[in-house]
Structure 1
Amino acid sequence: MAPGRLTVFAADTHKRLGDVEVGLVPLTVTSSPDGRIAYVACYASSTVEIVDLETLRPLTRLRHRTFGDAGAHGLAYIPRRE
């Protein structure tokens, strides 16, 4: 399996802005409410890739060894209480 790619488009013009490599078999993508950060759940690599959508650079990768065969599937964004 090859790494996946997250491709980003402008919301207003639909112009392709660029892409960034993510983990294996990306299944789910969600973003922060302000649209600045993407979270990509990758099934085969059991990772969640966190990407800055303005710079198209990876910020960090969350790994979880106990996912096993199931891998990372879905995502939910829950804002921090202030």
Structure 2
Amino acid sequence: MQYKLKDEWTSITEKQGTLYAPERSVEISTEKVNGSGFILCPLKPFPFKGTIFARAANGHADLNVVNVTLPTS
């Protein structure tokens, strides 16, 4: 699924898989608090499991989420 993110937090419906930001940085967190998570840089796949939220780190961003865990190395 592809999420179109802005400054507000978006709940990611998938509970596990791989996150991928194709062009712009995204903040990923387990709570809806700015600065509480980590910045996912563009072009770096990141596996996850659990309930997460995402928002654009700088205005707007796309976030792709695939429901499989891909190797990151």
- Fold-level match, TM-score > 0.5? no
More strand per residue: 1 or 2? 1
Of structures 1 and 2, the one with the larger relative CO (CA 8 A, separation 6+) is 2
Q: Which protein shows a greater Rg?
A: 1
More helix per residue: 1 or 2? 1
